[in-house]
Structure 1
Amino acid sequence: MAHVESPGRQKVRDAMDSAVNDLGAPSVVVQVRDENGTWFGSAGLADTVTGARRVPGEQLHTGSISKAYTAATVLRLEAEGRLGIEDTVDHWLPGAMAENGYDGTKVTIRHLLSNTSGLFSTGMAVEAQRRYSIRSAFAEHRFDVHRPEDALKLALSQPPVHRPGEAFWYSNGGFAFAAAIVEKVTGNSFESEVDRTVVRPLGLAHTFARHREETGYRGRHPRAYSKVFLKEGVRPEDVTPDNWPSMMEDPDLAPLDTTEFNSSWGWGAANVVAPLDELIVFFDAMITGSLLPADQHRRMWTTVSTEGAHWLANTRYGLGLYELTLSNGLKLRGGTGQSVGTCTFVMGTTDGRHTLAVHTNNDWLSFPVLDKVIEAEFGASGFSLDL
């Protein structure tokens, strides 16, 4: 495929060049849809070994953006009369949450999808950290296959952080339970239901939820590069909020190519693959309500505060996606997904007329890169961590 660049948007192009030349990102790619049509630009390399450039249509591992697809699937099932988001976990999965202080009779599907279930941050589970947070361990475990029951067990491996519905706390585990409920309700695989309820209705020919054994892509894609690892020999359980900087490996180490790996540990939360143009189509549908009936669209955007949850500042979370208020007061709606060596951002104005999609194939500079591009496109900064 020939390298394609759109003319104009010099501020965005400067931001991309700065992300690569000044910050050191391997690459960044941007796609914008507004009243003038579609704009595409890139900087850096899709593959630092071969020198391949970034091109439109590349498939991307979208990380936590997958949560929005899970929420849309559940809400479509509600619209079909198959379930209700106020149904409890126990209603569909009796006893599945009855351990380690959790009570499935009190946690609803809405709690799962809004990160208000009380489930702890699954990515911080000791077992997950032991497998993936150290280079040598990642190399050993990157192709491990996780069954649905493994994902549910991991989600319950630490006690609740609060009572159901009491507050927001970001947790992949809630979306694993949501995926399990989808399978119980329909009798079909979760991945096939994402395809039936979301992918096919929107005509997303190159979007799919990875099946459990899949480790890669079904089309052209950039390489992914990671440098966010603990030092060799560090025990993850010894890392604290105070000592973690001293526990990280030398930032001057070369990045690790993490392109092919099995993401089944993120079942329901981090396993959708899609190109930027189809991500824009999906999020435009989520923003404007063109996929979901009015009742379900309203539920999706009934948001809760994320303040004090050690997450992204200036945000409110809906069902699987969130609203971000920029420093100039502009509100955007969409999602962000970071995984090992990759970060994707798609957000648009609330009227659905202006949508920005960004991808960078690294995980150590991702949010500074995103903020540069957001400010260039919308004239205001967006991201900071609420710590």
Structure 2
Amino acid sequence: MAAHEKMQQVLDWAVDEVGVPGIVADVKDGDRTWSATAGVADIQTGAPRLPGEHLHTGSSGKAFTAAVLLALEAEGRLSIDDAVNKWLPGVLNVNGYDGDKITIRHLLSNTSGLFSTGLAAEVAHRYATRSGFLQHRFDGFTTEELLRVAVSQPPVGEPGERFEYSNGGFHLAGAIIEKVTGSSYAEEVERRVIQPLGLTHTRVRSAQDTGYPDPYPRAYSNLFFRDGVDPATATPENWESLMEDPGLPSLDVTEFNSSLAWSAGDVVSTTGDMIRFVNAMASGSLLPPAQHRQMWTTVSTEGSYWMPHTRYGLGVFEFDQRATGGRALRGVGGSLWGSWFFAVGTPDGRHAVTVHTNTEWKTWDLMFKIINAEFGVSIAA
């Protein structure tokens, strides 16, 4: 069976069996490109998913942040082994953190010891339940607020000791970009990533933006705790057990202020643009060789309640080759209310697939089935 037929079967399965409203995939394999879709972009009208839609790429934006900092290092303006206190004096010297010990590399590799920011009280009480989301969906976050949230709970470990996925580390990284350059984070991403790669449909969302350019899919979410659950009781280990009944209807969350994500993942793009981006990150066509090697110097994510069978670099991930039969596959990805995106490609930059669902992550099986369909690699969830 041809790869595109296998892919279409997986996309149809995602809609029919996983409960994804709609899904779109773009593929580039050498000179061959093609797209496939299943399901709807709008539950009310039944409009289908379409290639070329503008969508939220979630934590894929972390790779944009890492690329900017590595570009600045290549220019000699900083080192990723600089202590955070060199650029943001005192910001980390609270609640048990030490800004002289935590480096930019720690931030970008999620090994800083910072706690999982999504569990912060300031975040959970606004967005963790349906009623909270409806009340706060248009709230904005300033950089100062994001940095305060990043250190609002004590460390989960010493710098370099363990992998713990933390948006707060990337918010600190975004603040360092602004301190070093004197420009906004969005301007630096535009200058150092978007323009050089010709990503004409890609931008960092502004702090006031609550929508998307046409065309775009509606976004639907069930990512909420049950009524009566105290978000303060959530941990990386138990949060899934606190979620609401999966049989409840999805909430349309298309319009909301995502400034909570900022430099940890607030990039709007298309599957087509993101193929170009992931190929550049995987192959090293954007960064100098030394910085490319830094980006792909990885740490284990084992035991971290994150994506299985992966290692994490600087804003990017690669699959453990023990799980892929020795095949090297690199990628970016992210999930948030009403959106799940991932892009996976080969290190030579010739073969990649990008996928978006207009609801958040449901199961790793979907990603692994797509990888199998496109790359012939079987990974067990």
* Corresponding residue for residue 367 of structure 1: 364
Q: CA deviation at 1:240?
A: 5.5
When residues 145 and 165 of structure 1 are mapped into structure 2, their CA distance, relative to the original with a 3 A threshold, is: same
Equivalent residue letter for 1:140? Q
Secondary structure of 1:78's counterpart equals helix
Question: Partners in 2 of 1:169 and 1:39 — Cα distance?
Answer: 36
Question: Partners in 1 of 2:380 and 2:74 — Cα distance?
Answer: 34
Q: CA deviation at 1:218?
A: 2.7
**Residues 1:377 and 2:340 aligned together:** no
Secondary structure of 1:200's counterpart equals helix
Q: CA deviation at 1:8?
A: 6.7
Q: CA deviation at 1:23?
A: 2.1
* Number of residues of Structure 1 aligned to a counterpart in Structure 2: 378
Secondary structure of 2:263's counterpart equals coil
Question: Partners in 2 of 1:138 and 1:245 — Cα distance?
Answer: 18
Unaligned runs of 5+ residues in structure 2 are none
Question: Partners in 2 of 1:344 and 1:148 — Cα distance?
Answer: 25
When residues 56 and 164 of structure 1 are mapped into structure 2, their CA distance, relative to the original with a 3 A threshold, is: same
Question: Partners in 2 of 1:228 and 1:13 — Cα distance?
Answer: 26
Question: Partners in 1 of 2:3 and 2:302 — Cα distance?
Answer: 37
Question: Partners in 2 of 1:247 and 1:170 — Cα distance?
Answer: 20
Question: Partners in 2 of 1:261 and 1:71 — Cα distance?
Answer: 25
**Residues 1:125 and 2:126 aligned together:** no
Question: Partners in 2 of 1:218 and 1:42 — Cα distance?
Answer: 20
Question: Partners in 1 of 2:233 and 2:169 — Cα distance?
Answer: 26
**Residues 1:294 and 2:289 aligned together:** yes
Which of 101, 125, 128 is the aligned partner of 1:106?
101
Question: Partners in 2 of 1:227 and 1:255 — Cα distance?
Answer: 5
Secondary structure of 2:196's counterpart equals coil
Q: CA deviation at 1:106?
A: 0.8
Q: CA deviation at 1:25?
A: 1.2
* Corresponding residue for residue 277 of structure 2: 282
Q: TM-score, normalised by structure 1?
A: 0.94
Q: CA deviation at 1:49?
A: 0.9
Residues 39 and 48, structure 2, Cα contact 8 Å, conserved in 1: yes
Q: CA deviation at 1:71?
A: 0.3
**Residues 1:160 and 2:135 aligned together:** no
When residues 270 and 149 of structure 1 are mapped into structure 2, their CA distance, relative to the original with a 3 A threshold, is: same
When residues 241 and 66 of structure 1 are mapped into structure 2, their CA distance, relative to the original with a 3 A threshold, is: closer
Residues 207 and 274, structure 1, Cα contact 8 Å, conserved in 2: yes
Identity %: 54
Which of 345, 357, 362 is the aligned partner of 1:348?
345
Which of 46, 68, 77 is the aligned partner of 1:73?
68
Residues 279 and 346, structure 2, Cα contact 8 Å, conserved in 1: no
* Corresponding residue for residue 188 of structure 2: 193
* Corresponding residue for residue 305 of structure 2: 310
* Corresponding residue for residue 3 of structure 1: none
When residues 264 and 41 of structure 1 are mapped into structure 2, their CA distance, relative to the original with a 3 A threshold, is: same
Moved more, 132-141 or 317-326: 317-326
Secondary structure of 1:265's counterpart equals coil
Q: TM-score, normalised by structure 2?
A: 0.95
* Cα deviations by residue, 1:319-363 (Å, 9 ceiling, x for unpaired): 000101344332210111101111001010122221011111112
* Corresponding residue for residue 134 of structure 2: 139
**Residues 1:94 and 2:89 aligned together:** yes
* Cα deviations by residue, 1:293-332 (Å, 9 ceiling, x for unpaired): 1111111111111112221221111100010134433221
Secondary structure of 1:131's counterpart equals helix
* Misfit runs of 4+, over 6 Å: none
Residues 139 and 257, structure 2, Cα contact 8 Å, conserved in 1: yes
Residues 61 and 264, structure 2, Cα contact 8 Å, conserved in 1: yes
